[in-house]
Structure 1
């Protein structure tokens, strides 16, 4: 199996190296990642200038690695073009969870979505950094368990995985959709110039069985996703209102 590894934290991220190591036990790995951090870029693509790639300034052992002057989605598009026989795209390990409504902003997940749009399976991995550096040896072990779990679930094409620091197991979950408080937080720089930070915090406790609920209990959260955003219940209701 040929596995393309990318992220949104950039080529220098230790999470990228950890994911590449874990993936290398399951196939031939190639890294194509942004040359600078691209966190919260969501599914942005570069359409107003050309993309280019260079050899990585970071060495990943025997794994080929390249940096791209673009977004995570750009990296997947370019990487799968250059390596046309890619079987799987894995994105991460993001330094910070991607849970609940954060899935709308995540560049890590967007890379996996871009893979699926191109006909390749995509898996996004994220972990917490709330209490210091991730526990990579433990996390890599659970990444391997997730690979084994998903080997027998080939019909699931898009997966979002969040890994606590010290997992106690793995749970299938759905995305938490509870309300968030998204607001602009004003500040100033050392020169007294106005700055603004975008911040959001959940307002409600997570629902049982969701991604947020699982990681709060130290379970690895594995969430199957889809690209179709259609509200099927509302569409069915509206179709019934159309006169025959």
Structure 2
């Protein structure tokens, strides 16, 4: 398959390199990634000034690689419309993210947003994230699960407007209980901001969230905490169809 590989942790991220090595074993891969860290940038794109695209050599990886002075969504757009345009792209894979993208955090995630940008362009996409527990993270295991899900997607046609969100726990492979297909959960963190300084009339705050230990049953948050790899289908259509008819009655 022809794979466009992107991320939000940047072109030099370990997770990107490990996933590239796994995927290029039996696929054609082109890497297009931000030139620096772009975590939690959501689905922003760059307007008003040029994007700088630079060819990069990554030691130990044979795939072509490019850095982009923009966001993960920019990387998808440049990759699809310019770098991979003449050959076509079968699927977009975003990751491996340093930390999970579960629950409502998927709304802020550059990793997931890059995958959604692929779907917007009519290309099926997979977002891949690995749980960060202190300094422990299983990029290698996450890469193998990504390859497994890719194979399943190839054999069982995945709709072009669909995104699969894959999250892998930070436990030994022998302790992983399997894959759970499930819905996304609620909030991972209780939002907090800590004052970090003052300068005259200016006050500086830094995000300092506290992990939320309460989560809904049957969600990605619950299953990952219980030792499962989670797989959640996403769609970028945010329309609340249940409310459309009610609103029509009120407006009309």
Measured in 1, the distance between the counterparts of 2:4 and 2:93 equals 6
Corresponding residue to 1:143 among 142, 146, 155: 146
2:206 maps to 197
List per-residue Cα deviations over 1:67-99 (Å, max 9, x = no partner): 111110111100111202011110010001111
Post-superposition offset of 1:168: 2.2
How many aligned residue pairs are there? Answer: 240
TM-score, scaled relative to structure 2:
0.87
2:174 paired with 1:157: no
SS at match of 2:232: strand
The SS at the match of 2:229 is strand
Q: Distance in 2 between matches of 1:105 and 1:61?
A: 30
How do residues 39-188 of structure 1 correspond to structure 2 at under 5 angstroms? 39-81=39-81, 82-84=83-85, 85-151=88-154, 152-155=156-159, 157-166=162-171, 167-178=176-187, 181-188=190-197
My pick for the range that moved more, 164-173 or 101-110, is 164-173
Find the residue that maps to 2:105 and give its secondary structure.
helix
What TM-score, normalized by structure 1, do the two folds share? 0.90
Residue 211 of structure 1 aligns with which residue? Answer: 220
Report the 3-state secondary structure (helix = DSSP H, G, I; strand = E; otherwise coil) of the residue aligned with 1:16: helix
* SS, match of residue 116 in structure 2: helix
Q: Kindly indicate whether the alpha-carbon contact (under 8 Å) linking 1:35 and 1:68 is maintained by their aligned counterparts in 2.
A: yes
In structure 2, the partner of 1:27 is 27
Partner of 2:2: 2
SS class of match (1:224): strand
Where does structure 1 lack aligned partners over 5 or more consecutive residues?
A: none
CA distance in 2, matches of 1:153, 1:200: 39
